[in-house]
Amino acid sequence: MKRFSGSHPILAGLIATAAPVSASAAEVWYVTGEVGAVFLEDSSDTARDTHGDTVAFNQGFDPGFDIHGAVGYLWHGLRLEGEILYRENDADRLRATSITPSGLGRYTTTLGLNANGDASALAFMANAWYDVDIGRRWHPFFGGGVGVARILLDNVRATIADTAEPLADDADMVLAYQAGAGIGFDLGENMVLGLDYRFFATKEPEFATVGSSHFNVEYHSHNVELSLRIAF
């Protein structure tokens, strides 16, 4: 009686066709959706007007949220992907630390104001992540990426004597980068649930105030993310 060997081309083709796609396969395409919490660091800024007057101040922010989407390719543990992400934080407080009128010297102050409006980042990133195979359903990963981000200060206002005074409503496109690490857990043959931490930062964007002053800000955020990756 004729027997089929494990190397028979027809049998091998049927097995390959019937086998489900594995999220931890050696080579596979995937999509990822991700949401998380954003903790934006306080920003130390200095505003300058056309007369040479400067005001140094600190800007604080409430915890915010983010949402991501990515398409990538897994190759023997290395994931290369393109990602679009959005982060947003409400402005919390504004504190002037020094005032320097042109030609009159520097004056220190502790003027504190409530602030409204929000800061957001819309970024386009190229990422590389590496999944460490430890022979279990869960596996650590680490990596990072670079790209560009549009940083927006949306209708930021300071409350002075119960009146909200407009400060900035402007955006700037700058270089962005991120790095992080986390844990992935195989939910099935083609899905991975992930939990990770990311540090996301940009080159300092420049904004114009409503009064035509210009200032640079710092955008550094700490992010805790929950993701779902689906292979296909």
Span 141-153, pLDDT tens digits: 999 999 999 999 8
CATH number of the domain encompassing residue 48: 2.40.160.20
Q: What is the pLDDT of residue 117?
A: 83
| Position 217 in a domain | yes
Q: What is the pLDDT of residue 6?
A: 46
Q: What is the pLDDT of residue 101?
A: 59
| Position 184 in a domain | yes
Q: What is the pLDDT of residue 82?
A: 98
User: What is residue 52's three-state secondary structure?
Assistant: coil
* pTM for the predicted model, two decimal places: 0.78
Spans in the chain with pLDDT lower than 70: 1-25, 46-57, 95-114, 158-166, 210-212
| Position 139 in a domain | yes
Domain boundaries, position 218: 28-231
| Position 9 in a domain | no
Angle CA 190–196–200, to nearest 5: 125
Q: Please report, as a single letter, which amino acid is at residue 228.
A: L
| Position 212 in a domain | yes
Q: What is the pLDDT of residue 88?
A: 96
How many domains in the chain?
1
User: What is residue 42's three-state secondary structure?
Assistant: coil
| Position 3 in a domain | no
Q: Where does residue 179 rank: exposed (0-12), middle (13-18), buried (19+ CB within 10 A)?
A: middle
Q: What is the pLDDT of residue 169?
A: 79
pLDDT tens figures, 28-37? 999 999 999 9
CA 213, CA 25: separation in Å to the nearest integer? 54
| Position 121 in a domain | yes
| Position 87 in a domain | yes
